[in-house]
Amino acid sequence: MRSLNSKLVMDFISEQGYDSVEKTYVAYTPLEDYMCIAVAESYDNETEENSARLAVEAVLTAFEKKPSLKRLRDYIQYANEQIILHSTRNELKVSLTVLVSDYTRMRYAYCGNTRIYILYENIFTHISKTQTQYHQMIEEDAQVQPDGAQVHNLTEYLGKEKHVRLFLSKTMELTEGSTILFATSNLWGRLSEIEILDAYEYTKTGREFLEILQELLLSLQEEYDQRMGSFTAAFLYIEKTYKEDIQKKKKRKRLFILLAVVVIVILLLVLVVVSCIRALDRNQMREIQKHDQRGRRYIEYENYVKALEEYEQAVALADRMNYKNWQYLEQKRELAEMVTDTEAMLILHQEAEAAFSGGEYEKAGKLYAQIQKEATYQQFLSLAESAEQKQEEIVARMQILQHISLGDMYDATQDYEEALLHYNRALNELTKIIDLALEGDVQAKIFAIRQKQREAIQAEEEAEQAEKEAKQAEEEAKKEEKAAQKAAAADRAVIKINTLLVNANAALEEGRTARARELYQQALSRYNKFSGSTEDADKLFQDLTALGQAITEAEVKAKEAAKEERASQAAQYAIQAKEAARGGDRKTAQTLYEKALAIYQELNIWDEKTEALYDALDELKNETQPNQDNVQNSEQGEAQNEPQE
């Protein structure tokens, strides 16, 4: 019906030029409600068929199946698929322009360097661009006039890729009395817009216009001796357009608006109900996520008691969630499963800690192995690392206890050398962990064995001396001499040990605790080898014990002083962070808060000051996030307001 009530006049000319086969092609298909015009130009080395014709026919075939102003992209995509499919002997390259009209409006799309001009009353009302180096250079620098050779330097064309990148125009109204000119590159690249207007001004019919354009091209070829290939010029004159029934259109519009209002009201009601349900679910999920975040933070800082409290609350909230509605069902199940698994892991950690404290090392080792596996799976790397360290400590403790047990067994059988060997091995293993009580017990066992050895040696010496008094009177002098030498050696040993003890005490008074510990270890090593009198041994043992306790107390005081200094530094960081936040420097404030929290984590301090730091850091992050969202929304708004080509 539209075609009968409108009049669009179409005409064209095509020349092969010096090409071995025709390189351009134009065709159009008028239907009752739509009309399609396609102009193409090929740039390949194919000599047996015209790939431009293949593209045009593919477009028209796709148009006839589904005519529409909205399917130009599909038409050109189908033509591109056909070009790629026929690229067997040579790679086919085609430039294409397609125009579709419903006899009232029009829309066009192009890929390559074919162009359209819209003329009305001897002026251009619209000129399409091209996907060439020519127009790219013009857009980059309007003052630079590109070389004419750049007209054929395409940036996009059919046959280049599987998915073609094309230009798609907006829908435009057809104006009665206007003319649409379709031109291939050899036409628009050689004739200027002024020459095309001059040719249009002095013609009465579209055929005359096309013939004048042809004569101008041929005259340029003769004048400048330029060999020109194929070209096509197509002419569409809009003599009469289809006039739609305004009243019917208004009725359809009112009906559409009424239906739209009804649909919108229904959708709003549904949306309100759904939004209420979603809001309840979101609030519950948000609360669970808050507890999860806090729990993860406590786990990160190794405060597992607080973390368990947070996850117990999260699991309680998860049990109260509604799993019967379809809103966020998968997310709710995943969230509930996550917090439940984390709570079970923390309970397992609590049991492991109790077993470890109670000396049930085998049970604790199995529990820590399971904790490490679960923590690694749930991405709690600090907890996994802590569990691994606990397992290593358990292995060390079991080895220590095994050596102590063997030492006790050899001690009971009076095999003192083997007993000392195992006790010393236990001391070496104790260097891997910190257990002063156990270390003191082992040292006491070593001292007891040393005492037994000394007593046994002394008794043996007395027995031998009694047996030999009668028979070896002459050797008494030698024995006395040997005893004197032994006593002298013992005295020298006592002097050396006392010297070490004096130096250690002096270093301790000067505050050099590490040097005092080193001298104490040397004195202890010499004492373990001391074989002098019991009185000297007892005196040395008392001095060593007093020195060891003094060094331990000094180390504890040094640690407490360092801890207080670190706590003071954390408080200073918190004050500086607060001042930076007041000054608007949120990044510096966040860094200082994190430093303060790291010190509290190091010192294992979890009180109101720590919670205050967490709250301040969360508040600072919440203030930063909305600003970022506003910036992103602003950028998106600016991008949407940019005019399209």
**What's the pLDDT at 625?**
61
Residues 341-356: pLDDT tens digits? 888 888 888 888 888 8
Round to whole Å and give the CA distance between 4 and 32. Answer: 8
Q: What is the mean pLDDT of the chain?
A: 82
- Angstrom distance (rounded) from CA 434 to CA 576: 36
* CA-to-CA separations, 640 to 168, 627, 635, in angstroms, rounded: 18, 20, 9
For residues 76 and 165, the answer to whether their CB atoms sit within 8 Å is: no
- With a pLDDT cut of 90, the percent of the chain lying above it is 20
- H-run or E-run covering 73: helix 72-85
And the tokens for 191?
A: 């004739």
Strands 105-111 and 94-101: antiparallel
Task: Encode pLDDT of 552-569 as tens digits.
Answer: 888 778 777 777 777 788
Kindly tell me the burial class for residue 492, based on how many C-beta atoms sit within 10 Å of its own C-beta (0-12, 13-18, 19 or more): exposed
| C-alpha dist (Å) from residue 516 to 5, 222, 505, 513, 553 | 112, 109, 7, 5, 12
Model pLDDT, residue 169: 94
Six token digits for residue 77: 């995509």
Over residues 463-493, the pLDDT tens digits come to 888 788 767 777 776 777 776 777 777 777 7
Instruction: Tally the residues of the chain.
Output: 645
Is pLDDT above 80 for 173? yes
Question: 153, 123, 120, 160: which is closest to 136 by C-alpha?
Answer: 153
In eight-state DSSP terms, residue 584 is T
- Give dist(CA 294, CA 310) in Å, integer: 7
User: What is the distance between the terminal CA atoms of the chain, rounded to a whole angstrom?
Assistant: 33
- In this predicted structure, the answer to whether residue 640 has a pLDDT above a threshold of 60 is no
Res 143 pLDDT > 80: no
- AA identity, residue 545: T
Residue 221 CB burial class (10 angstroms; 0-12, 13-18, ≥19): middle
DSSP characters for 126-186? EE---SBHHHHHHHH-TT----GGGGG-BSS-BTSSSS---EEPPPEE--TT-EEEEE-HH
- Rounded mean pLDDT of 231-249? 83
Please give the model's pTM, rounded to 2 decimal places.
0.43
The span from the CA of 90 to the CA of 78, in Å, is 19
What pLDDT score does 70 carry? Answer: 93
Closest CA relative to residue 426, chosen from 411, 444, 413, 407: 407
Name, in order, each residue with C-beta under 8 angstroms of 380's C-beta and a sequence gap of 6 or more.
Answer: 296, 299, 300, 342, 345
pLDDT at 34: 94
C-alpha to C-alpha distance for 301 and 596, rounded to whole angstroms: 12
Radius of gyration for the alpha carbons in the chain, expressed in angstroms and rounded? 48
pLDDT of residue 124: 93
Give the C-alpha separation, 308 to 339, whole Å.
Answer: 10
What pLDDT digit, counting tens, does each position of 586-621 carry? 888 888 878 888 887 777 777 777 777 787 778 777
Tokens representing residue 520 in the block: 């104490």
* Predicted confidence (pLDDT) at residue 626 exceeds the cutoff of 60: no
Three-class SS of residue 424? helix
Return the minimum-mean-pLDDT range out of 112-121, 267-276, 318-327, 376-385: 318-327
- Helix boundaries (H) for 225-380: 246-300, 304-319, 329-357, 361-377
Q: What is the pLDDT of residue 81?
A: 94
The H or E element spanning position 414 is none
- Other CB atoms within a 10 A radius of the CB of residue 46 amount to 22
**Among the residues of 435-584, which ranges form H helices?**
436-471, 476-509, 513-528, 534-582
Centre a 10 Å sphere on the Cβ of residue 143 and count the other Cβ atoms it contains. 5
Please check whether residue 153 is in contact with residue 132, taking contact to mean a CB–CB distance below 8 angstroms: yes
pLDDT in tens, 44-54: 888 888 899 99
Choose among 406, 388, 396, 401: nearest CA to 431. Answer: 396
Question: Which residues, 6 or more positions from 340, have their beta carbon under 8 angstroms from its beta carbon?
Answer: 315, 318
